[in-house]
Amino acid sequence: MATAEVGDDVFGDDPTVNALQEYAAELLGKEAGLFVPTGSMGNQVALGALARPGDEVVCEAGAHFLHYEGGSVAAHLGLMMRPLEGEAGVITSDQVASVVRTGTEHNPHTAVVAMENTHNAAGGRIFPIDEARAVSKVARDRGVSLHMDGARLFNAQAATGTAASEWASCVDTLTFCFSKGLGAPVGSMVVGPSDVLSESHRLRKRLGGGMRQAGVIAAAARVALETGPERLHEDHSNARRLAEALAAMNPSAVDLGAVDTNMVYADVGVFGTTGAQVSAALRREGILTLGSEGPVMRLVTHRDVSSDEIETAVSALQKVLI
Ligand SMILES: Cc1ncc(COP(=O)(O)O)c(C=O)c1O
C-alpha cells in the first residue's frame, strides 16, 4: 500500500486501480471491472445500471441488499423488489419462471434476477452452479438481466472447486468483496460488460464513490485477490470445528449440514440464552461475534483467526454456554 503507484481514479488514471479492474475482469471472464468502496455500493451501481426506476428485481427473500443495505435500492434507485422464498438462500428456475413479467401499463417490468452467493442470511450457503445455470437460462430466454451478489463468491469456489468465473458466466454483473474473507481492509469489485459498467461508473460518482488516489487501497485488494482464495479452505475447516464443538454441547444448537463455508449460525436459545447475551459474554473473553436479540448468533471465520484461536473460542463458548 505504501509503495502503490497512484493517480486520480475519478479520471480513470490510477494505474493500480486500473490494473486491479483488468485483473478481476479477466479472472471472472468479463469485459470490465469497476472498483467500489463497498459491496453495498457495488450492488447499487450494478442494479442501477441494469434496471430503471419502477422496474422489478427478483431476489431471494433474505437478500442482503433487501434487508441490510439501508433500503438503498428503493431510496437511491427507485427499484421494486420481488422477493421469493428460497431454500437455503437459493431460488429456483421454476420460481423465477413463474414470476417474470414483461411489464404493461399495469405491471412493473421485471428487469433483473439477482442471486446471492454465498448467501449471508442463510448462513454462508452456496448457490449450486447447476441451479445458477438454470436460473440464468430462464431469465435470459425472457430477456431479463442477471446480477450476482457474490460478496463471498470465492468461498463458494474454495468449497466446491467450481471456478468463480463459472458463476460469473451465469450473470451480466457480479459484485464481490475484497474486504471479507479475502482479507483486504476495504473495497469491492463489480464486473460485467463494458457498456453496463460505464453506466455503473456514472452511478458510482453520483453516490459519492469516486475515490481519488484509490491505488493505496487497490494495492491491498490486489494482494487479497491474488493470495486470499487459496487459503479460504482454512476458514471453512475452522468454521466446521466451531460448529462441531457447538453440536457437541447440544446437537440442536447447530445444523451441521448447513455449514457450507465460513459461517456458523447457532441457536443459543437451546442453552436458555439469547444471541446478544452470548455475544456480550464472548466479547468479554476477547471474541467478537454477532448476536441477535433472539436465539440466533453468527460466528464468522476469516484470515485473521487462526486454528489455535478457534480452540480459544471453543473454550470460551463452553465457559459461556454450559
Ligand atoms: C452478501 C453480502 N452482500 C453485500 C454485502 C455488503 O458489503 P459491504 O459491507 O462492503 O457494503 C455484504 C456484507 O456483509 C454481504 O454479506
Q: Ligand 1: does its nearest atom lie under 6 Å from the Cβ of 262?
A: no
Residue 104's pLDDT is 85
Provide the sign of the torsion angle of the four alpha carbons 33, 100, 115, 129, taken in this order: negative
Residues 125, 258 contacting (CB under 8 angstroms):
yes
Q: What angle do CA 73, 210, 6 make, to 5 degrees?
A: 145
Chain centroid to Cα 28, Å, comes to 15
What are the cell numbers at 138? 430462464
Residues 160 and 53 in one domain: yes
Asked, for residue 1, whether it belongs to a domain, the answer is: no
**N-to-C CA span, the chain:** 45
Nearest to 46 by CA among 163, 164, 145: 145
Asked, for residue 3, whether it belongs to a domain, the answer is: no
Tens digit of pLDDT at every position of the chain (322 positions): 999 999 999 999 999 999 999 999 999 999 999 999 999 999 999 999 999 999 999 999 999 999 999 999 999 999 999 999 999 999 999 999 999 998 788 999 999 999 999 999 999 999 999 999 999 999 999 999 999 999 999 999 999 999 999 999 999 999 999 999 999 999 999 999 999 999 999 999 999 999 999 999 999 999 999 999 999 999 999 999 999 999 999 999 999 999 999 999 999 999 999 999 999 999 999 999 999 999 999 999 999 999 999 999 999 999 999 9
Provide the sign of the torsion angle of the four alpha carbons 186, 164, 85, 73, taken in this order: positive
Which numbered atom of ligand 1 lies nearest the CA of 38? 10
Check which CATH number belongs to the domain holding 236 and give it: 3.90.1150.10
Look up residue 119 and give its DSSP letter: B
Domain encompassing residue 71 = 9-227
Which numbered atom of ligand 1 lies nearest the CA of 43? 4
Nearest CA to ligand 1 atom 7: 39
Provide the sign of the torsion angle of the four alpha carbons 190, 193, 195, 196, taken in this order: negative
Residue 139's pLDDT is 98
Residue 254's pLDDT is 98
Residues 111, 50 contacting (CB under 8 angstroms):
yes
Cα separation, 80 vs 121, whole angstroms: 20
Q: Ligand 1: does its nearest atom lie under 6 Å from the Cβ of 60?
A: no
What are the cell numbers at 58? 427478483
75: Cβ–Cβ under 8 A, 6 or more apart, which residues?
none
Residues 217 and 246 in one domain: no
Cα separation, 55 vs 109, whole angstroms: 5
How many A from CA of 185 to the centre of ligand 1?
14
Element (H, E) at 263: strand 263-267
How many A from CA of 64 to the centre of ligand 1?
7
Task: Report how many domains make up the chain.
Answer: 2
Q: Tell me how far CA of residue 137 lies from CA of 27, 146, 171, in angstroms.
A: 22, 10, 10
Helices (H) and strands (E) in the chain, counts: 13, 10
Check which CATH number belongs to the domain holding 161 and give it: 3.40.640.10
Pocket residue to mutate for ligand 1, from 35, 117, 149, 152, most atoms within 8 A of Cβ: 149
Domain closes at, from 227, 253, 279: 227
Residue 102's pLDDT is 83
Domain closes at, from 177, 199, 227: 227
Q: How many C-beta atoms surround the C-beta of residue 293 within 10 A?
A: 9
Residues 116 and 249 in one domain: no
Residues 152 and 48 in one domain: yes
Q: Ligand 1: does its nearest atom lie under 6 Å from the Cβ of 21?
A: no
